[in-house]
């Protein structure tokens, strides 16, 4: 039997897009997901094992049975406001379960590990930009929980146990352009998802949290990266490690940002209808501006984005929301 790739959280939004790309190029893939925010039907062409990444006996069985030689770790809680209200939930799932997974990988001799991290590790930067050497000062438990995991992974790899690529995501958006899978997480807080849900009538309005930031239009600015381009970066990271490449930490973004108002304008433009917008105070844990320096990703992995266009990103997200509105049972099977 050939070796397999284990994708934790592979039934979720980003993980499922990565699984789809891995399967499309002929990889053997096994997924562990507890389906708390993921969907069984989103796992296409891979075996799904329903369970928790913190279950060491389960993880050890999967690693051995499938001869896993590379792990892509997505399983995590990711909602910044929730992390402020329930920090131990985030440290337990994001940090402690990652420690458990790493221990299992070390015991099984897994040589390659790709970690789903976040730009939230940077916190508020001096000029709203961040490269990989920017000091890490997270301002919420979500970012802190991910940074702790980065540290554990780095220190483990320093022993020679394995090599890793840590990918720090900026704002992930959009869906599979063919509409096969998408972003179905209920009660999402991601702006483009929320705005597109409003556009198809699923939400009554879209909220702007903070209109008094020191930015050109007063709203927060973020670097939005299409999920398909982000998924491609994971495959190139895997190839890098298979080719004997060194451990890396890389930003995943396009290197330019859009304000909340610009995103809302794009959704209105692509949908062809006005949105109901409500302005609210700033949310705790948000930064005024955060945009990636991503030159290192392009140089080290030869990564080239295909969907670097806000209207294209919005268009794929809106395509998925319209599909969900027509077919409400889509991806509803969680059992």
8-state DSSP, 96: I
Complete DSSP assignment for 181-217 = S----TT---HHHHHHHHHTTSSS-EEEE-S-SSSTT
Per the CB < 8 A criterion, the answer to whether 160 and 230 are in contact is no
Half-sphere exposure of residue 183: CA atoms within 13 angstroms, side-chain side: 27
Q: Residues of 144-174 as b/e, b for ≥16 C-beta within 10 angstroms?
A: bbbbbbbebbeebbeeebbbbbbbbbbbbbb
Half-sphere exposure of residue 230: CA atoms within 13 angstroms, side-chain side: 30
Question: How long a stretch of residues is the chain?
Answer: 335
The residue annotated as part of the active site, out of 90, 142, 213, 224, is 142
Is 142 among the residues known to form the active site?
A: yes
User: Which residues are known to be catalytic?
Assistant: 142
């Amino acid at each position: 039997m050939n070796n397999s790739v284990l994708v934790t959280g592979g039934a979720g939004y980003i993980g499922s897009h990565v699984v789809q790309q891995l399967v499309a190029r002929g990889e053997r893939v096994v997924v562990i997901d507890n389906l708390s925010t993921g969907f069984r039907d989103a796992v296409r062409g891979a075996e799904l094992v329903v369970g928790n990444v913190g279950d060491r006996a389960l993880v050890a069985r999967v690693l051995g049975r499938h001869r896993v030689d590379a792990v892509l770790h997505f399983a995590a809680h990711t909602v910044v406001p929730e992390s402020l209200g329930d920090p131990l939930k985030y440290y337990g799932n994001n940090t402690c379960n990652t420690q458990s997974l790493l221990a299992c990988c070390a015991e099984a001799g897994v040589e390659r590990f790709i970690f789903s991290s976040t730009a939230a590790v940077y916190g508020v930067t001096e000029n709203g930009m961040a490269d990989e050497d920017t000091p890490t000062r997270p301002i919420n438990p979500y970012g802190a929980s991910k940074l702790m995991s980065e540290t554990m992974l780095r220190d483990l790899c320093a022993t020679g146990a394995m090599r890793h690529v840590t990918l720090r995501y900026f704002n992930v958006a959009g869906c599979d352009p063919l509409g096969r899978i998408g972003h179905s997480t209920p009660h999402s807080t991601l702006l483009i998802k929320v705005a597109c849900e409003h556009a198809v009538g699923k939400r009554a309005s879209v909220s702007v949290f903070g209109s008094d930031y020191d930015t050109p239009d007063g709203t927060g600015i973020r670097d939005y990266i299409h999920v398909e381009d982000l998924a491609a970066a994971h495959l190139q990271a895997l190839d890098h490690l298979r080719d004997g490449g060194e451990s890396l930490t890389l930003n995943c973004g396009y290197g330019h940002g859009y304000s909340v108002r610009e995103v809302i304008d794009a959704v209105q433009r692509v949908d062809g209808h006005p949105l109901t917008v409500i302005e609210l105070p700033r949310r705790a844990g948000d930064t005024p501006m955060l945009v990636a320096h991503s030159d290192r990703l392009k140089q080290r992995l030869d990564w080239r984005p295909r969907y670097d266009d806000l209207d294209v990103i919005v268009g794929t997200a809106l395509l998925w929301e319209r599909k969900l509105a027509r077919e409400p049972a889509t991806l509803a099977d969680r059992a």
